[in-house]
Amino acid sequence: MDLLKKLKSGASKAADVAQQTVEITKLTTQIAGRKREIEKNKTLMGHEVYEAYKKGDLSLAEAKVGELCISIVELESEISSLEQQIKRVRNEKTCACGKDLAADAKFCPSCGRPQIHEHTEVITIDVLPSTEAGDAASAAAKKQDGESE
């Protein structure tokens, strides 16, 4: 790592931690919102079933209950993907035994394996503007030159 990169990474470390906290808070809030939504759907389901019961035909609730179940399944899968995102942001690792660990864990609390510390660096590559268009144009110009001869 050259000096400039070293300086940059030091300066951005604090910002990274702050950014990480913001990101996790955001994801946690999104999860809480979906959990509330699931509870609301379950309450609605009960309501639908009871109304159908009062009308003497539980099958009246079937369509609505089915819709609510589908939406709960969707919400649950969104929650699990949000939980995955939190894990990524926290830079958690998985032990060989399958247990999720904090990135700085020295030993696995489940199986006791010592954990190797891999220093992970975020590598950013500056993408230069594509020169393909220019190359194509010059190639076309060359080709034309060739043809005119």
Interface residues toward Zn ion, by CB under 5 A: 95, 97, 99, 108, 110-111, 113
Query: Which CB sits closer to Zn ion, 45 or 108?
Result: 108
Least separation in angstroms between CB 89 and Zn ion? 22
Instruction: Give the per-residue SS3 of 37-57.
Output: HHHHHHHHHHHHHHHHHHCCC
Three-state DSSP class for residue 76: helix
Q: Where are the extended beta strands (E) located within the chain?
A: 93-94, 100-101
Q: Closest CB to Zn ion among 56 and 114?
A: 114
Measured from the CB of residue 43, what is the shortest distance to Zn ion in angstroms? 40
Return the beta strands (E) in 17-94 as ranges: 93-94
Nearer to Zn ion, 40 or 99 (CB): 99
In whole angstroms, how close is the CB of 102 to Zn ion at the nearest point?
Answer: 13
State the Cα–Cα distance between residues 68 and 49, nearest whole angstrom: 12
Choose between 86 and 105: whose C-beta lies nearer to Zn ion: 105
Length of the chain: 149
The least distance separating Zn ion from the CB of residue 48, rounded to whole angstroms, comes to 46
